[in-house]
Amino acid sequence: MDRRTFLQAGLAGLIGAGGIGSGWAQATPEAIPKRILWVNRAQTKEEGRVLYYQDQNLVQDGYYLLCYLLRDVQAEQITRMDLKLIDLLFAMQAWMRTCGIRQPLQIHSGYRTAQTHAHTEGAAPCSQHLSGKAVDLRVDGIPPAVLAKLAVRFKAGGVGVYPHFVHVDTGPVRVWKG
Ligand SMILES: [Zn+2]
């Protein structure tokens, strides 16, 4: 078992063992005083490790930078991304880090304007992407199915597993396979 396989097994084991409490994403700010999200956009070659929450307060500049990084890169439009969604991404990344996986979240798609959405193949008509409440992502070396299992644990909303990415949103809790 090489290191990566070992780390993946560790992550899957943690998920399987029920090590992640559903309330973890809503943990008290005191428990997680500093929240940094590491994201990457392949389309624009942008990457950022962004501090967006500190000392029980939203860091406005960091939050806006994340909204920028999660924007519709085709239309070059920004919206206010749902903070609950950002916290979910943070929580997923924090859990991966506990398993030794230090990778940015590769964002395929975040916010989508109606026009971009209309041109997205296979997209649902009432997508949470339109209101800044959804992200399609992948992480190098982690199969989408494992990433989806991790996301489901937080019960934060919808989780869709696709061959090359995972969709997460903060709409109604549901799971599907794309
Ligand atoms: Zn999606």
Grouped pLDDT means (10 residues each) for the chain, 178 residues: 57 55 47 88 95 93 97 97 96 91 96 93 82 97 95 94 96 94
What residues does each domain of the chain span? Answer: 29-172
- Cα(29) to ligand 1 centroid in Å equals 28
| Whether CATH 3.30.1380.10 fits 29-172 | yes
Q: What is the pTM of this model?
A: 0.85
Q: Looking at beta carbons, which pairs linking 67-72 to residues 24 or more positions away fall under 8 Å?
A: 67/111, 67/132, 69/39, 69/41, 69/107, 69/110, 70/39, 70/107, 70/110, 70/111, 70/132, 70/135, 71/110, 71/111, 72/110, 72/111, 72/112, 72/113, 72/116
**Residue 104: what pLDDT?**
97
pLDDT, residue 25, reads 47
Task: Tell me which residue of 171, 115, 154, 176 sits closest to 18, measured CA to CA.
Answer: 154
Neighbours of ion ligand 1 (CB under 5 A): 134, 136, 167
Q: What is the pLDDT of residue 161?
A: 95
Please tell me the predicted confidence (pLDDT) of residue 94: 92
150 alpha carbon – ligand 1 mean position (Å): 16
